[in-house]
Amino acid sequence: MIEINLPPVYELMVLNRPDDGFDEICERASELGAGTLVWVNRPDRIELSVVLEPNMPLMSSRWTFFVGMTALAGTVASNCSPGMEIYFGWPDTLWLDHSRIGSGRLGRPADCCDEDVPPWLVFSARLEEPRRWAIDPDRAEDPQLGEEDTDRVDHHARLVETFARNFLRGLNLWEDQGSKSIAECYTARLRPFKSSTGLTLTESGDLVVEYAASGIIERCDIAPALHSLKWLRPISRAERP
């Protein structure tokens, strides 16, 4: 039995399966209900999905994605070695120094338009190979034979707890201070585009990139960017931030 301490707003579901279960979770989102936290327990990475029931149109509730990405970065920041650089690749990848270690995605009903209030949303996050970068202060230096898997599950559980608290804290910040506060948290970690001088998020979540030298302003729409899922493909040299 996995012991995990979550804020009471969450209902934990632990799955053991070879994939992230994202499509199934989206299909069952209405049944699972708001606050369901699905953890796919795998040895090589952490897969998490949170079900939400927004009360605002998709254009606004899409900010849930930025809350989730910021929570993911905060989880890494509080569990990795000091001095390591943590940053986002627009819009959905998380990097630690020169390694891509995380990603996020946002599920919604296929027929939901920007002006519609979605009956559910699913923020899903992935953290790759936590054992390679996450510090585990409770791990023995020389674990006994047979204890390593239990050690790993306990360590992953602590990271799940951290993410859950960070995500809830981000939702509360968004509710109390508005999207501007979330935008500042996200863009502070966003890797600058080549020769760009300014990165800001619009109210709809689109990215505005400024190039002072040329006077050019570029707009990157968030909706199609979230559907591209570049992080599912192998990293090429050209894709590195």
Written as one letter, the residue type at 156 is H
| Contacts by residues 197-203 (CB-CB < 8 Å, ≥ 24 positions apart) | 201/66, 203/60, 203/179
Q: Residue 99's Cα: distance from chain center in Å?
A: 16
Quote the longest CA-to-CA distance of the chain: 62
pTM above 0.85, yes or no: yes
Structure tokens belonging to residue 8 = 């009471």
What's the CATH number where 33 sits? Answer: 3.30.930.10
Establish if 230 belongs to a structural domain. Answer: no
Q: Which domain holds residue 71?
A: 11-178
In a domain? residue 55: yes
Q: What is the DSSP string of 21-82?
A: -HHHHHHTHHHH-TTEEEEEE-SSEEEEEEEE--SS-HHHHTTHHHHHHHHHHHHHHTTB-T
pLDDT reported for residue 241: 45
- Strands, DSSP E only, in 55-98? 86-89, 93-96
Which residue, 235, 185, 180, is CA-closest to 68? Answer: 185
Distance CA 87, CA 163 (A): 16
For residue 229, is it within any domain? no
Q: Does 27 map to a domain?
A: yes
Residue 132: predicted pLDDT: 87
Read off the tokens for 95: 């990097």
Alpha-carbon gap, residue 85 to 3, rounded angstroms: 31
Q: Which residues of the chain have pLDDT under 50?
A: 140-147, 235-241
Assess contact for 95 and 127: CB atoms under 8 A: no
pLDDT tens digits along 13-41: 999 888 888 999 999 999 999 999 999 98
Q: What is the pLDDT of residue 232?
A: 66
Give the C-alpha separation, 48 to 13, whole Å: 10
Residue 241 placed within a domain: no
Could you tell me if residue 186 is inside a domain? no
Q: What is the pLDDT of residue 12?
A: 97
CA distances from 168 to 8, 70, 136, 171, 217 (A): 11, 11, 23, 5, 34
Domain count, the chain: 1
**Residue 63 maps to a domain:** yes
Domain membership flag for residue 37: yes
Q: CA 38, 230, 225 angle in degrees (round to 5)?
A: 90
pLDDT given at position 3: 80
Helix (H, G, I), strand (E, B) or coil at 128: strand
